[in-house]
Amino acid sequence: MVQEKKHVMSTALLLRFFYVATIVLLSSCYKGDILDADQDPGTPFNPNEEIFVEKFMPTDGRKGTRILIYGRNFGNDPSKVKVTIGGQPSKVISVKGESLLCLCPSKAYDGDVKVAVIDEDNTEVKSGVCEAKFEYRFNYVVTTFLGATYENNTKWDVLAGPFDNCGAFENMRWLKFDPNSGFDDLYWSGTKTAFRHVDFKKEYVDIMITNLDEIDCVDFTPDGDMILTDNHASDTKTGIYLFTRESGFTERISLCAARGLRNAVAHPTNRKIYFTPYHHGQIETYNLDTGEVLAEATLPHTRTEYKTIWHPLGKYAYVIFNGKHCIYRVDLNLETNMLESPYLMCGQETVAGYQDGMGSGAKLAGPEQGIFVKNPEYAGQEEEYDFYFCDKDNHCIRILTPEGRVTTYAGRGGGLTSGYVDGELRTQALFNKPAGIAYDEKRNCFYVGDMNNHRIRKIAPEE
């Protein structure tokens, strides 16, 4: 035990030594906006010698990252030094002969790091390029993809038309790509006039006509047919319809009756449709082959909105309790092809709030649609997907990890942070009750149905 304590103490002292040494080393490199604490001006530029760019640190970063570049013959006048990274001009903060400090510019895609000294006419006298390349990390930003309003966001037109003249959008509750379209056909639903189709090839937005009361969800079967829900107040009226792909989604087939239906989704492989009527508090299934309807899992509450989203591999689903401010998980028993008992994944049941955290340590407020997105950092692990979801009443987009940790991805978060602002994900962007979300694998971006802003917002790498 004594030897263990001595080992721990010696390790702690060693770590402290390396910490102090690192701070001293960094301080010798730059302090604040200068490169050296002793204000050494460095060697002036010599026009008879070449500029040599040896290395830089860090080797990767985003816009605004501070970069130290090392080499020879940089001079000591920042106004005469020109740095480009990936062909984009960088702001030079300090220069001292064999080193300089600059900022990573926007869109530094190519990664070439070039240092030049210029004359009074802004002409390059000498220049050098580093053999290594800087790896640019994209900044993701929120922009407006579709939609326009007027009179201070209080009026808008619902139009079919090209992207630059398609009006604005109502009650965007659910966004879904047609899986057979190569991410070129996006649908969203809410009410009759809110059932829309975005044709990316034609850059055109349609108004879909179905004669249904209120379409809260759109999905597709493994065969490629479209599933629509009809939210109404009758126990005997059809709640789930199938529109055949062969007919161009015009032929309508009644599947089963359901009352107060907000959500019906197809499993990726087992040919069942999963749905939860508002009053039942059960996850029920409709078998596409037999027409059989079964109640497979009991949920904790009746008379609340549930939204089920299946994992892409079909091994489990998240059940979003909109009115109870939490998300449950329900696993599929692969032997019986039946659902197991749901359990809490994150949030505090019946407690609305805003807090990032683990499991029940997180607080949500009116969560809505979510989407599974593969995370490259999980490659080779048992679970490779994160879950992005709209936290509507917190006016933000959150991430749920496989372990149950909730973080805020876009928007300010909290009930008093609504608005309409494009910009950087966490410090600038504002949403107003986002409810629907889809991920575009072809274009590497998210689309968000920003309900009270009546627009489709886009989260993508900066352009």
Q: How far apart are CA 308 and CA 273, in angstroms?
A: 10
Read off the tokens for 28: 């010798």
DSSP state of 249: S
Contact 384, 374 (CB under 8 A): yes
pLDDT tens for each residue of 193-213:
679 999 999 999 999 877 888
The kind and range of the H/E element at 24 are helix 2-29
Tell me the mean pLDDT in the region 444-461.
Answer: 96
| CB burial readout 237-269, b (16+ within 10 A) else e | ebbbbbbbbeeebeebeebbbbbbbbbbbbbee
Contact 113, 53 (CB under 8 A): yes
DSSP string, 341-395: --EEEEEBTTB---B-EEGGGSB-SSEEEEEEEE-GGGTTSS--EEEEEEEGGGT
Read off the tokens for 35: 């490169």
Neighbouring residues of 9: CB distance < 8 A, sequence distance ≥ 6: none
Tell me the mean pLDDT in the region 395-420.
Answer: 96
Residue type, 162: P
Looking at residue 132, what is its pLDDT? 97
pLDDT tens for each residue of 85-115:
999 999 999 999 999 999 999 889 899 999 9
Contact 41, 96 (CB under 8 A): yes
Lowest-confidence segment of 6-20, 53-67, 71-85, 278-292 by average pLDDT: 6-20
DSSP state of 63: T
Sheet holding 226-229, edge to edge: 218-220, 226-229, 238-243, 252-257
At 356, the pLDDT band (50, 70, 90 cuts) reads very high
At 304, the pLDDT band (50, 70, 90 cuts) reads confident
Q: How far apart are CA 151 and CA 456, in angstroms?
A: 19
Tell me the mean pLDDT in the region 160-178.
Answer: 94
Tell me the mean pLDDT in the region 186-190.
Answer: 90
Smallest Cα–Cα separation from 331: which of 322, 348, 343, 320?
Answer: 343
Q: How far apart are CA 386 and CA 373, in angstroms?
A: 5
Cβ atoms within 10 Å of 224's Cβ, excluding its own: 13
- Chain centre distance of CA 155: 29
Q: Which is more confident, 9 or 254? A: 254
Q: What are phi and psi of 292, to 5 degrees?
A: -75, 140
Looking at residue 138, what is its pLDDT? 86
pLDDT tens for each residue of 121-143:
999 999 999 999 999 998 899 99
pLDDT at 153 over 60: yes
Name the CA dihedral angle for 413, 416, 421, 427, rounded to a multiple of 10 degrees: -40
Contact 406, 398 (CB under 8 A): yes
